Structure 1
Amino acid sequence: MFKKLAVAIAFSPTGEAVLWEAVRLQQLFEAEMVLIHIGERSDEDVKQLDEMLDQVKVDRGKVKLCWENGAPSKKILEICRREEVDLLIAGALRKENLFQYYIGSVARDILRKADCSVLVLVTPSSHPQNFDNIVVQAGGGRNPRKSLKVACDLGKRDQASILHLIREIKLYGLSLAVASEDTEEEYSETRKNLVNEELKEVQAKLDKLDTEDLRINIKITAGKAGHELAKFTRRTNADLLVMQGMGRKLGLFDRIFRQDLEYIMSDLPSNLLIVHP
């Protein structure tokens, strides 16, 4: 799944907690790990990092430290490419006096430009728990099957209680139904048929994946995809939202999907995993 992880280390109140979470995932995936810190090196900072690594009980023989200077987002991305990282782990920020989380400018820039998958943690803990309640967007992006596969693999490894697959009805289909049907009964029948088509598409993708022992709930929604996805994630108290990333060259549907991602980033409903296409 993920063979090499990287974690962006910051000397902040949540920095140590993010490292605890990263070590748990390293063990879960049996992966290599790269520790990234951007900034000037001083004796005090070296001592602080050593103390943090000792506290988290990091196996220094299984990690590589990259401590470099430069613009944070640019340097982090450069290191991830150079080290062939599969998954970058970073923390989010909480808006002051609000139960609301958002991605800071550095992490936001990384999410838009990263060549690897990115996991943003909203409430990292020094006693990390498994991802038990996972929501995955089963559509959008260039290769939604990859995000489904990652979500299923992670759910199995972490022994998740439930995996929710969210699929949006194609809005143009509903618009055609409204324009062409004369009665409420005919409209309801057309909507029902659209929902069944979406269910079949999702099930066809699942049939190609290993979902044994996974409890799966397929939910079909209509409306603004980003809004519906965030609302469902909050309502179910999910601890992880999985979305498909985009390629560098954006087509029409990629641009629509990007709006969903921008909406999610402005107010995170849970931890967020963006799977690189």
Structure 2
Amino acid sequence: MREIRQPGAYSYVYGKYEEPIATVKPGETVAIYTKDAFTDQISKETDRPSQIMSNPNPQTGPIYIEGAEPGDTLVARIIEIEPTRDYAVSALIPNFGGLSNTNITRTLNEPIPEKVWIYKLEDGVLTNNKRLSFPWRPFLGTIGTAPALEAISSITPYDHGGNMDVPDVKPGNTIYLPVRVPGAYFFTGDVHGGQGQGELCGVALEISAKVTIQFDLIKNKSINWPRIESDTEYMVVGSARPMEDAARIAYAELIVWLEELGWDKWEAYQALTQIGELYVGNMVDPNYSLVAKIDKKYALID
């Protein structure tokens, strides 16, 4: 299996303006190495992100997908996520997070204190102390393709994917992404060893990793927003502000998917009203990400 490592500087945007670091054929499985959200610069609890960080969320990419053309759908099957070190990092960062004064939600409150936690990874558990001890639940915080024109920051989720921070972007699941430029220009990074819904303080269990992905293409089929398929569920991610718009996008696009499976639009609307599920991936980024889902046992009824 071929390994893909960033040969030089990491990218901090999703866009079509950088030279691809590798070309992958449909059907090929590759191992992609990623840095953590802090570009691996935080290693001890006395470190301060505000003094060390320049840009968050380094991306490995762009990766050129052979044969991908605008109007296709890129298929990324996440096979495995393996840590490349034995600790994860989390932190409180002033003027950042779901319960903090930010430049978007402006208040007169003082910033929250800056603090770092280091979690030792051992036997499938990430531990800082007896209260802060959580199971290893890895997923990709960032994954996406290049937008058609603009370059979008790697901290911003939108219809290309990006920094969605959705725990269902995990091994065993398949991610469907829109192709808007020749070659798709795939990026990924920001692996989390675990995270609660919402990523409340804005920093999950950040870790560097080796990510094994199998790529494929669905030709001449376009999608508007990222989709996720597990063995048991169909899911769509919507990213926007305010949060209710992200929820509307996710549910409306899930209805579109159900129509493709043979549903009547209004019956799909009714079904999701009764049995649909919705959760918050992140409530801290420039756009919020929400996931709408339906169990396949309901979706696949003839």
Normalising by structure 1, report the TM-score: 0.29
Tell which structure's C-alpha radius of gyration is larger: 1
Q: Which has the higher helix share?
A: 1
Q: Which has the higher contact order (CA 8 A, sep 6+)?
A: 2
State the TM-score, normalized to the length of structure 2: 0.27
Query: Which is richer in strand?
Result: 2
